[in-house]
Structure 1
Amino acid sequence: MIALWGIFGYLLGSIPFGIAIARALGLGDLRKIGSGNIGATNVLRTGNKPAALATLLLDSGKGAIAVLLARHVGGDAAAVLAGGAAFLGHCFPVWLGFKGGKGVATFLGTLIALHWPLGLIACAVWLLTAAVSRISSLSALLAAALAPVFAWGMGRADLIAVSLFMAVLIFVRHRPNIARLLDGTEPRIGRR
Structure 2
Amino acid sequence: MYRIISLLLGYLFGGIQTASMYSEIKGVDIRNEGSGNPGTTNVWRVMGSKAGITVFLGELVKSIIPVVTSKLLFKKNKVISALYATIGTILGHSYPLFSKFKGGKGIAVTVGGIYMVNFPLGVITSVLFFTSLVITRMVSFSSLVMTGSIPFLLSKFFKGKSYKKEAVTLGTLISSITAYRHKANIKRIIAGTEPKLKKKLK
Tell me which residue corresponds to 2:148. 145
Letter in 1 for 2:130: L
Letter in 1 for 2:61: G
Letter in 1 for 2:13: L
Structure 1 residues 37 and 184 mapped into 2: Cα distance closer, same or farther (>3 Å)? Answer: same
* Offset, 1:159: 2.9
Tell me which residue corresponds to 1:171. 179
How far apart, in 2, do the equivalents of 1:135 and 1:107 lie?
18
* Offset, 1:179: 0.8
Say yes or no: does 1:100 pair with 2:103.
yes
How far apart, in 2, do the equivalents of 1:73 and 1:44 lie?
35
Q: 2:82 aligns with which of 55, 63, 79?
A: 79
Tell me which residue corresponds to 1:186. 194
- Stretches of structure 2 that go unaligned for 5 or more consecutive residues are none
Runs of 4+ in 1 over 3 A off after TM superposition: none
How far apart, in 2, do the equivalents of 1:170 and 1:60 lie?
17
Structure 1 residues 25 and 190 mapped into 2: Cα distance closer, same or farther (>3 Å)? Answer: farther
After superposition, where does 1:117-136 map in structure 2 within 5 Å? 117-136=120-139
- Stretches of structure 1 that go unaligned for 5 or more consecutive residues are none
Write the deviation string for residues 11-59 of structure 1: whole angstroms up to 9, x where unpaired. 1001110111111122x21111111111111001114211101111211
How far apart, in 2, do the equivalents of 1:65 and 1:121 lie?
22
Percent of pairs with identical residues = 29
Tell me which residue corresponds to 1:57. 57
Contact 1:44-1:190 within 8 A present in 2 as well: no
State the aligned residue count.
190
Larger Rg: 2
Tell me which residue corresponds to 1:45. 45
Letter in 1 for 2:89: A
How far apart, in 2, do the equivalents of 1:178 and 1:44 lie?
21
Q: CA RMSD in A?
A: 1.6
Tell me which residue corresponds to 1:154. 157
